[in-house]
Amino acid sequence: MVATTERWAWPSSFPRRLRERDREGGKQPAPGHGPTPLPTLAKSLILATAIVLAVTGVILFGQGLWIFAKAQLAQVLLERAFAQSLATGEIVKPWPWADTWPIARIELPRRHKSAIVLHGASGQALAFGPGHVELTPDAGENGTAVYSAHRDTHFAFLADVRIGDEIRVTRRDGAKFRFRIDGTVVARWDASGIDPFAPGQNLVLTTCWPLDAKIPGPLRYLVRASILRD
């Protein structure tokens, strides 16, 4: 037997069309079985869908920029209002229709974090900063002051606090206090064990738990601190 590299050839008795298809190296579709063009209506629907998705993306992007810009502007207004409160000792609202106002500044030197604390812990207040839970004393007074904030914004840094970290609080009346973190605990919102009238001068920072969760839950993360004496 003699080896050959020639391609197989169909017998001449086969129809010409089949022989030509074999020489072209591929199977040709039979008449009437090729790809069918999309109807005009289907093309129009695809184009309309693409336009709607593009416009939606632009709108969402614009809304994101607006929310970010509004948050940045709010912080500027809060800082300005707090500075005026320090200078005058009076309540100063950050904008005329606000239902809250700055009452303190909280700082964590090791983490290089600070935030303006607002009066009350309503939803509107917490949208702009930590809120001072009502019916708890002012920071530095006898009892336990409680500041609350969202875990994914103003109190996100609580994930990195350590026992022994210092917390500084400057109230709007100019009084300054330093606290030391004594411990942390996770508890249900209705079983926190916080006593606003406990002996001493204490501070609790609280936010939702788990810190990386995306939906609300009944648990709270409590960072407890006691006053430092100079």
Q: What is the DSSP string of the chain?
A: -----PPP---TTS-HHHHHHHHHTSPPPPTT-SPPPPPHHHHHHHHHHHHHHHHHHHHHHHHHHHHHHHHHHHHHHHHHHHHHHHHH-S---SSTT-S--EEEEEEEGGGTEEEEEEES--HHHHTTS-EE-TTSPPTTSSEEEEEE--TTTTTGGGGG--TT-EEEEEETTS-EEEEEEEEEEEEETT-----TT-SSEEEEEEEESSTT-SS--SEEEEEEEEEPP-
β-strand partners of 152: none
Which CATH number belongs to the domain containing residue 221 in this structure?
2.40.260.10
Residue 139 domain-assigned (yes or no): yes
Encoded tokens for 18: 């089949």
Looking only at the bridges linking them, the beta strands covering 131-132 and 113-119 are parallel
**What is the span of the domain harbouring residue 156?**
87-227
Given a cut of 90, is residue 142 above it in pLDDT? Answer: yes
> In this predicted structure, what is the pLDDT of residue 89?
87
CA-closest candidate to residue 164, choices 109, 230, 221: 109
Residue 92 domain-assigned (yes or no): yes
Encoded tokens for 54: 């593009």
> In this predicted structure, what is the pLDDT of residue 216?
83
Residue 206 domain-assigned (yes or no): yes
Percentage of the residues of the chain whose pLDDT score is greater than 70: 72
Residue 134 domain-assigned (yes or no): yes
Residue 204 domain-assigned (yes or no): yes
Given a cut of 80, is residue 178 above it in pLDDT? Answer: yes
> In this predicted structure, what is the pLDDT of residue 20?
57
pLDDT in tens, 190-205: 888 999 999 999 999 9
Using pLDDT thresholds of 50, 70 and 90, give the confidence band for residue 66. very low
Residue 11 domain-assigned (yes or no): no
Encoded tokens for 59: 């709108």
CA-closest candidate to residue 226, choices 185, 171, 165: 165
Encoded tokens for 56: 């939606």
Rounded Cα distance between 19 and 10, Å, is: 6
Residue 21 domain-assigned (yes or no): no
Cis upstream peptide for 37 (omega within 30°): no
CA-closest candidate to residue 123, choices 153, 81, 143: 153
> Average per-residue pLDDT in the chain?
81
Residue 126 domain-assigned (yes or no): yes
Domain count, the chain: 1
